[in-house]
Structure 1
Amino acid sequence: MPKAKTSKEEVLQRVIPILRERGIAKSSMSELAKACDIQKSHFYYYFNNKEQLIKEVLATVHGYFKHNLFKVINNNDLTITQKLEKVRALIDKMFRNADSGCIMANTALETAHLNPIYKDEIQHFFEDFISGLQALLTPSYSRKESLALAEQIVQDLEGGILLMRIYNDHKYINNAVSRMEKIILKAH
C-alpha cells in the first residue's frame, strides 16, 4: 500500500534516477508515482502535469550541479589539484552511471525535435558547466580561448558519457575526465 505522506523533494529525488535511466517518453506519471510509493493523485498534488514535473526535475538537477560545481571552483582554500578531485567526484556522481548518463543530454536528445519546452533549462545547465570550467582555465588563457577550451571539454565529456552508455564501459568517461584534468592543470 502506498505511503500517505511524501515531500515534494523526496518525490523529485526518487524520480530523477528513473527519468535519467528510462527517459521521459518511457516514464508515465502512474509508474513514477508507484516508484515513489505514493498515489497518482498525490503525485498530481505536487505537479500539475508531466511537463511541470520534468521542468522541476531539470531545475533540481541544474541547481544541485551548479551549486556544487561553483562551491568547488570558488573555494580559494583548495589547490587546483584538490578542485579537480572534487570536480571529478561531482562528474562521477552526476554522470558515471552507465545505465543513465546525463539527464540533461538525455532530455535534450529525447525532446528537442518534438517539444523544446525544456531547452532553456538544459541550455542554462550547459552554460553553467562551461562557465565553471572556463573559470578554471582563465589563469593561462584569454577569455575567448578559455571559453573554447571549456566548450571542448564539455563536448568531450558528453561524448564520453554517450560512449560509456553505448559500450557499457567507463573508460570513455574516464578518458574524457583525464583529458579535462590535463587541460586544466596545463593552465596552472
Structure 2
Amino acid sequence: MPKVKTSKEQVLNKVIPFIRKRGIANTSMADLAKECEIQKSHFYYYFDNKDALVKEVLATTNSYFSYNMNKILANETLNTANKLKGIEQLLSKLFTNKHEGCVMANTALEAAYYNPIYFDEVAKFFDCFINALKQLLSSNYGKKESIELAEQIVQDIEGGILLMKVYQDQRYLFNAIKRMRKTICLEK
C-alpha cells in the first residue's frame, strides 16, 4: 500500500535518480508514484504535469551543483589543486552512482528528440560547470584559451560519463577527470 504523506523534497530525492536511470520518455507518473510509494495523484499536489516535475528535477540538480561548485571556488583557504580536488569529489559523487550518468546530459540528449523545453535548465548547468573551470584555468591561461579549455574539459567529462554508462566502467570518467587535473594544474 502506498504511503500517504511525503514532502516535495522526499519526492524529488527519489525521482531524480529514477529519471537519471530511466530517462524522461521511459518514465511515467505511475512509475514515479510506485518508486516514491505514493499515490499518482499526490504528484499533482506538487507538480501540474510531468514536464513541471522534470523541470523541478533539473532545477534541483542545478541548485545542488551550483551551490557546491560555488562553495568550493569561494573557499579562499584552498589553492587551485585543492579546489580541483573538491570539484573531482563533487563530480564523482554526482556521476558515479551506479553508472547512471549525468541527469543533465541524459535529459539534453533525450530532449533533442522529445521536448526542447528543458534546454534552458540544462544550459544553466553546463554554463555553471564551464564558468567554474574557466575560473580555475584563468590563473594559467588567457581568457579565450580558458573558455575553450573549460568547454573542452566539460565535453571530455560528459563523454567519459557516457562511455562509463555504456561500458559500466568508471575508468572512463576518472580518466577524463585526470586529464582535467593535468590541464588545470599544468601537470605532465
- TM-score norm. by structure 2 comes to 0.96
Q: Deviations over 1:129-148 (max 9, x none)?
A: 00001000111211111000
Shift of 1:170: 1.0
**Pairing 1:65-80 to 2, within 5 Å after superposition:** 65-80=65-80
> Is the CA contact 2:157–2:177 (under 8 Å) kept in the aligned structure 1?
yes
Query: 1:101, 1:121 → 2: CA distance?
Result: 17
Q: Which residue of 2 aligns with 1:19?
A: 19
Aligned mates of 1:28, 1:57 — CA distance in 2: 14
Give % identity. Answer: 57
Q: Once the two structures are superposed, what CA deviation does each residue of 1:68-112 show, in whole Å capped at 9, x if it has no partner? A: 011101111112222122111100111113531000000111111
Unpaired runs of 5+ residues, structure 2, are none
Distance (Å, rounded) in 2 between the aligned partners of 1:150 and 1:98:
26
1:62 aligns with 2:62: yes
SS at match of 2:3: coil
Q: SS of 2:176's equivalent? A: helix
CA–CA distance in structure 2, aligned partners of residues 81 and 135 of structure 1: 13
Q: TM-score, normalised by structure 1?
A: 0.96
CA distance in 2: counterparts of 1:75 and 1:112, whole angstroms: 37
Aligned position for 1:3: 3
Aligned to 2:50: 50
1:128 maps to: 128
The answer to whether the aligner puts 1:94 opposite 2:98 as a matched pair is: no
What code does the residue aligned with 1:122 have? V
Instruction: Give the aligned partner of residue 185 of structure 1.
Output: 185
Q: Structure 1: which 5+ residue stretches go unaligned?
A: none
Q: Contact (CA 8 Å) 2:99, 2:169: kept in 1 or not?
A: no
Q: What is the number of equivalent residue pairs in this alignment?
A: 187
Residue aligned with 2:4, SS: coil
The residue number in structure 2 matching 1:142 is 142
Stretches of 4+ aligned residues off by more than 6 angstroms: none
Q: Tell me, in whole angstroms, the C-alpha distance in 2 between the residues paired with 1:50 and 1:13.
A: 16
Q: What do residues 130-179 of structure 1 show as CA deviations (whole Å, max 9, x unaligned)?
A: 00010001112111110000000000000100111111111110100000
Aligned to 2:118: 118
